[in-house]
Structure 1
């Protein structure tokens, strides 16, 4: 008898079911009673294009790029920015806001503004990381009927895939506006350490946004593509610390072949955690000086969060910064103001434990790749958090050399995704990418035992099968004598 083969993925709700009028769980349900033609987009005169766009769907910001001849180009959005905040919101009138407009009104509308939803994608509600995230965001995280973590805004419930789809739609429209053509194909990047459920949920987001997801590409690999396209060669370490996740990959680039040797990471370590650490400090300092706890005030918390993010960015280039928030709250004695001078050294002490968490994944990645630190030719920094001087200092300690700043940390991933799109359509012929599976893959066999078939860091595509047979001995029955 062959071994029992079953997929161990939890049952997932079809994302398309929310586009047809479920009033309790989807914004589209509010359109009940209208004819289908009324819900359709206006007729577009744009011709259909064959381009495959590259999208970096980030936790904090997203970016879209496209190939122009042999070169990849980042496309500016309607606000003229090269990156778009991965934030969506619903206004008082129920209007959907995406990107910068959504981020601008977050202070006055915190419960209906969703950010950082990428950290929830493909996660169960009961997951310890989900429970931790619930305490740090002003919007509601709820349990879906299938046990997944969803968010609630404007009285409706949305899956993280739906939230991601709103951002992807913005990226799609940005590309269409620039190209003058409709876009239906995309390469979307994900953290290298995403599991299968998280990758499938990202694909769902693309489909909801009207995109055929031609390839899911690991973010460090995409960054290496954008770096190595200019005929660079050698062993490259990609250190990717973004808004919500951390990845590290070792790649060998030779004669246009990009071979990933190993990858490692932490899917719950990024800029959001740095912001939260600073946020907790500001709350505790205000409580110490004014004896008022701001953690229960959602409006005040959102103002503090924005101030914390701004201070974090400023301390990457200055030694100290002022955090001034007038009228943060009030009591019987009158209005209260927050005024704190924050030094870089204090900030580094607050987040040092987070930065130290990047060491073990780097060491494990080097071990899995079976290479020494001395063999690494260059270290690439990717992700906005790599601008923090202390992070760069730790990277230099880990790899024994100063990191390279040869790529734009905010745009490299999207550019690499666009290059991969060029490879898929045949516009880029001189490059070959050999990626790996970051996690071990296996099947459930008889008795509920997990049988590993493919080890982590195996080059893909790959295939492996295994057959098992067993004999069951049946008891012989004899007539009973009286």
Structure 2
């Protein structure tokens, strides 16, 4: 049985880990970095780039580069490039395929099983979209796990003593806070809260706006419609934000950014930490309510917390750390790496699911994980009321049934409208699915007995069923929404992904083969020239013919459209030239 990898599919960066010798290790990316930028790009030659290579070319190819796709998971967002439509699941699958390849290169074996993390506050549709992305990437997703829970799992492996821990997870695009109890090998989530649209991207946007505003006032230049200039500004904003975590001020230098009246401008700006903190103060303040809500739901006083764990790159911002101190009265712990612990926790869970239980430090007991559902689940009843069946922070997996009846006399069909959220009225919550129970026995209003059951698995994914207790007729669905991919779309995306993987492999082989062929041609030309008349005339003619054949094939080859047949022809021509130059080159 192959290894199970743990994947932190992040908004800005993603990370992959695997358990080796009972310890989670981070798998490096092709670039050597321990994280992979969550960026996908399509070059004008039709090549697909993922990770660091996509990030490097974003300035020159901004319209064909996609980043922060996680913010669109579970929505109807899509983009069209070269006449082909891409949904969030498809783009996410490309990132997952890159992480899968890194894992296979690292372990030396095929990887098929994975545990993937999501923000604790992801709703059912977003979780299912993440699972679909894994499937498109060729992964068997064993479990979807909440990011703060995963971080606590990584922490709990080395800190088994009984304690209540708060995980404050502020990443590139999402914010989560979870209150977790660790004790005697059990990691139990008591409560979770968060904001799916709050993170490092928002901090970057504030700095980007500030830079663009300064350029407008100082140079009378509006750069907002200049894609390339704005991409450079965004990169500079992100870098400035990072530098201000360690320095009191930073210099933002953008030579040859754009032209004004035909003359190039070279913005040179200084941003202080105080100015930065002032422009993002309201964003940091937005983390306060979820923290208070999670503590209240868990019935835990801040003073009862043993540790506060900071997760996500944005927690490196000093003002964020200060806010955590104010809210909890605790000094945040630095016992875990904020960029890597989520992937490590997922790898730990993957190893546990595989039957290779890991023992928590100091307990001698295998880790047991008890997670919760982040949002209440309801159905719409008479008057547009959202009637709750499952309260938020209910331990998973869970199953709950309740009897309802018809609202109109002799009603033969009833629509089950499934909602997720905390508001009392249906219209104010998120619709995550609808289905109809047909064939109800005709009877006066209020007589039929319809049993509605919510069944939530360990991934937090919901199955809803409705049964007419009189006729025994039943209808059930695993929740889908209009913006979820259909089974046919998923199957097509899987085929496309496999084709892409094949094309990528052919291109990689092509780059290598063309390099070898060109080296051989250069050496052959030098050798023939150096030997002059010493070389037998017939052999010289053979070498020249073979060189010409290979050079012609190499010149015609276009990497963006290269086929296996073309590579085979180049290999054969290269072999012929190697034979005719044997002993010379």
Pairwise TM-score range, normalised by the shorter structure:
0.7 to 0.9
C-alpha contact (below 8 Å) 1:112/1:154 kept by paired residues: no
Matched, 1:242 2:171: yes
Count, aligned residues: 404
1:232 and 1:85 mapped to 2: Cα distance? 35
1:207 and 1:265 mapped to 2: Cα distance? 27
1:372 and 1:472 mapped to 2: Cα distance? 48
Match of 2:109 in 1: 181
Matched, 1:412 2:364: no
SS of the equivalent of 1:459 reads: coil
Residue among 50, 71, 84 paired with 1:156? 84
Deviations 1:358-381 (Å, cap 9, x if unpaired)?
Answer: 001101111111111111111000
C-alpha contact (below 8 Å) 1:53/1:187 kept by paired residues: yes
When Rg is computed on C-alpha atoms for both structures, the one with the higher figure is 2
Match of 2:363 in 1: none
Higher helix share: 2
Match of 2:370 in 1: 434
Match of 2:304 in 1: 375
C-alpha contact (below 8 Å) 2:378/2:389 kept by paired residues: yes
1:305 and 1:228 mapped to 2: Cα distance? 37
1:357 and 1:470 mapped to 2: Cα distance? 42
C-alpha contact (below 8 Å) 1:287/1:293 kept by paired residues: yes
Matched, 1:116 2:52: no
SS of the equivalent of 2:85 reads: strand
Matched, 1:425 2:354: yes
Could you tell which deviates more after superposition, 236-245 or 312-321? Answer: 312-321
1:357 and 1:440 mapped to 2: Cα distance? 21
Shift of 1:447: 7.1
C-alpha spacing 1:471/1:91, structure 2 compared with 1 (3 Å)? closer
Deviations 1:229-260 (Å, cap 9, x if unpaired)?
Answer: 01243000000000000000000001010010
2:142 and 2:24 mapped to 1: Cα distance? 17
1:215 and 1:81 mapped to 2: Cα distance? 26
Could you tell which deviates more after superposition, 189-198 or 227-236? Answer: 227-236
Match of 2:454 in 1: none
Matched, 1:81 2:10: no
Residue among 79, 90, 93 paired with 2:42? 90
Match of 2:122 in 1: 194
Deviations 1:167-190 (Å, cap 9, x if unpaired)?
Answer: 000010111111111111100000
Give unmatched runs, 5+ long, in structure 2. 359-365, 411-442, 445-585
Residue among 234, 238, 243 paired with 1:314? 243
Match of 1:166 in 2: 94
Question: How big is the alpha-carbon RMSD for the aligned residues of Structure 1 and Structure 2?
Answer: 1.7
C-alpha contact (below 8 Å) 2:24/2:344 kept by paired residues: yes
C-alpha contact (below 8 Å) 1:111/1:153 kept by paired residues: no
Could you tell which deviates more after superposition, 435-444 or 391-400? Answer: 435-444
C-alpha spacing 1:256/1:160, structure 2 compared with 1 (3 Å)? same
1:363 and 1:318 mapped to 2: Cα distance? 31
1:181 and 1:65 mapped to 2: Cα distance? 15
C-alpha spacing 1:218/1:292, structure 2 compared with 1 (3 Å)? same
Shift of 1:115: 0.4
Matched, 1:260 2:189: yes
1:212 and 1:447 mapped to 2: Cα distance? 42
C-alpha contact (below 8 Å) 1:113/1:153 kept by paired residues: no
Residue among 106, 110, 134 paired with 2:58? 106
C-alpha contact (below 8 Å) 1:54/1:414 kept by paired residues: yes
Shift of 1:152: 2.9
C-alpha spacing 1:473/1:213, structure 2 compared with 1 (3 Å)? closer
2:138 and 2:378 mapped to 1: Cα distance? 32
Match of 1:349 in 2: 278
What TM-score results when the alignment is normalised by the length of structure 2? Answer: 0.67
Match of 2:203 in 1: 274
Determine which structure has greater relative contact order: mean sequence separation of CA pairs < 8 Å that are 6+ residues apart, divided by chain length: 1
Shift of 1:450: 3.3
C-alpha contact (below 8 Å) 2:382/2:407 kept by paired residues: no
Shift of 1:444: 4.1
Deviations 1:459-482 (Å, cap 9, x if unpaired)?
Answer: 111111011245976899xxxxxx
1:308 and 1:390 mapped to 2: Cα distance? 17
Match of 1:299 in 2: 228
C-alpha contact (below 8 Å) 1:90/1:154 kept by paired residues: no
SS of the equivalent of 1:436 reads: coil
Matched, 1:324 2:263: no
1:284 and 1:344 mapped to 2: Cα distance? 18
1:325 and 1:232 mapped to 2: Cα distance? 51
Residue among 137, 149, 165 paired with 1:209? 137
Alignment map for 1:352-363 (pairs within 5 Å): 352-363=281-292
1:390 and 1:242 mapped to 2: Cα distance? 15
Matched, 1:456 2:385: no
1:237 and 1:208 mapped to 2: Cα distance? 34
Shift of 1:451: 2.5
Deviations 1:85-108 (Å, cap 9, x if unpaired)?
Answer: 000101120100000000000000
Deviations 1:305-336 (Å, cap 9, x if unpaired)?
Answer: 00001111111111111100011111225111
